[in-house]
């Protein structure tokens, strides 16, 4: 979120604008970062919370806002580097594979984000990529991000079934399908969701 202010008390950067209905709106780019050989894939997710609901947390994909004049793919690659320390070659990023609109509360405000989701399929196991790095986090991210974790897809499916909040809903099945059948070049719209 490079355009967000550093002060967590004022978390909304230039990319957030009021929409016609008054709801704060921005465009976002996210990446399904999957590492490991076939059958051993792990998906990198972020767990976070809102400052006004510290007892509730949820898992979500790596990514953030698209800056003014920034291409979505460039924003996706930048966000992965800032949030995880992983530097992706844009040529190894597929998609967008999905689009969606998410409405959620953030810092006591209702926000809407139109997202494009890309796929980065890395052949290395997570431990071969080196450790994850939070050096690029903003103060806002430090105030709201709880952890980064590599998930085995069956394990993620089990916690989803048990009621753990994971966004987009049904993420383990979406990623499993991409791993089994591959990406066919079509962008699938996941629709709108309230989170």
Q: C-alpha angle 73/75/79, rounded to 5°? A: 120
DSSP class of residue 132? -
Q: Domain span at residue 176?
A: 17-183
pLDDT at 13: 76
Give the mean model confidence (pLDDT) for residues 47-76.
Answer: 94
> Which of the 8 DSSP states describes residue 175?
H
Number of domains in the chain: 1
Q: What per-residue confidence (pLDDT) applies to 91?
A: 95
pLDDT (mean) for 54-65:
94
> The domain that contains 82 carries what CATH number?
3.90.79.10
Confidence at residue 8, expressed as pLDDT on a 0 to 100 scale: 53
3-state secondary structure of 129: coil
CB 90, CB 77: distance < 8 Å: yes
Closest CA to 75 of 113, 112, 116, 38: 116
pLDDT band at 189 (very low <50, low <70, confident <90, very high): very high
What is residue 15's predicted lDDT score, i.e. its pLDDT?
82
Its pTM stands at 0.92
Per-residue pLDDT band at 10 (split at 50, 70, 90):
low
pLDDT above 70 for 6: no
Residue 7 lies in a domain: no
Contact between 175 and 154 under an 8 Å Cβ cutoff? The reply is no
- Please report whether residue 5 resides in a domain: no
Note whether residue 43 is domain-resident.
yes
The closest of 171, 179, 192, 168 to 114, measured between CA atoms, is: 192
Rg from Cα positions in the chain: 16
Does residue 1 sit within a domain? no
Q: Does residue 188 belong to any structural domain of this protein?
A: no
Choice among 53-57, 94-98, 128-132 with the minimum mean pLDDT = 53-57
The burial of 22, by beta-carbon neighbours within 10 Å (0-12 exposed, 13-18 middle, 19 or more buried), is given as exposed
Q: For the residues of 73-90, what is the DSSP string, one character each?
A: HHHHHHHHHHHH-----G
Half-sphere exposure of 109 (CA within 13 A, CB side): 15
| In a domain? residue 4 | no
Q: Is 11 inside any structural domain? A: no
Q: What phi and psi values does residue 76 have, to the nearest 5 degrees?
A: -60, -50
Asked if the peptide bond before residue 96 counts as cis, ω within 30 degrees of 0, the response is yes
182: which 2 tokens?
A: 């591959």
Does a structural domain hold residue 50? yes
Convert the pLDDT of each residue in 79-104 to its tens digit: 999 999 999 999 999 999 999 999 98
pLDDT of amino acid 54: 84
């Amino acid at each position: 979120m490079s355009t967000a202010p550093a002060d967590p008390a004022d978390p909304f950067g230039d990319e957030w604008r009021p929409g016609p209905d008054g709801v704060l709106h921005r465009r976002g780019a996210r990446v399904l970062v999957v590492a490991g050989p076939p059958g051993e894939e792990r998906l990198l997710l972020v767990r976070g919370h809102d400052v006004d609901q510290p007892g509730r947390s949820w898992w979500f994909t790596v990514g953030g806002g698209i800056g003014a004049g920034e291409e979505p793919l460039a924003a996706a690659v930048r966000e992965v580097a800032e949030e995880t320390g992983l530097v992706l070659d844009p040529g190894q990023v597929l998609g967008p594979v999905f689009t969606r609109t998410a409405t959620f509360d953030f810092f006591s405000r209702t926000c809407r984000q139109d997202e494009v989701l890309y796929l980065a399929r890395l052949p290395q196991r997570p431990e071969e990529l080196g450790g994850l790095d939070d050096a690029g986090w903003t103060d806002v991210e430090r105030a709201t991000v709880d952890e980064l974790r590599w998930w085995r897809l069956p394990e993620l499916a089990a916690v989803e079934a048990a009621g753990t909040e994971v966004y987009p809903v049904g993420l383990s099945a979406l990623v499993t399908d991409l791993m089994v059948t591959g990406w066919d070049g079509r962008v699938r719209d996941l629709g709108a969701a309230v989170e």
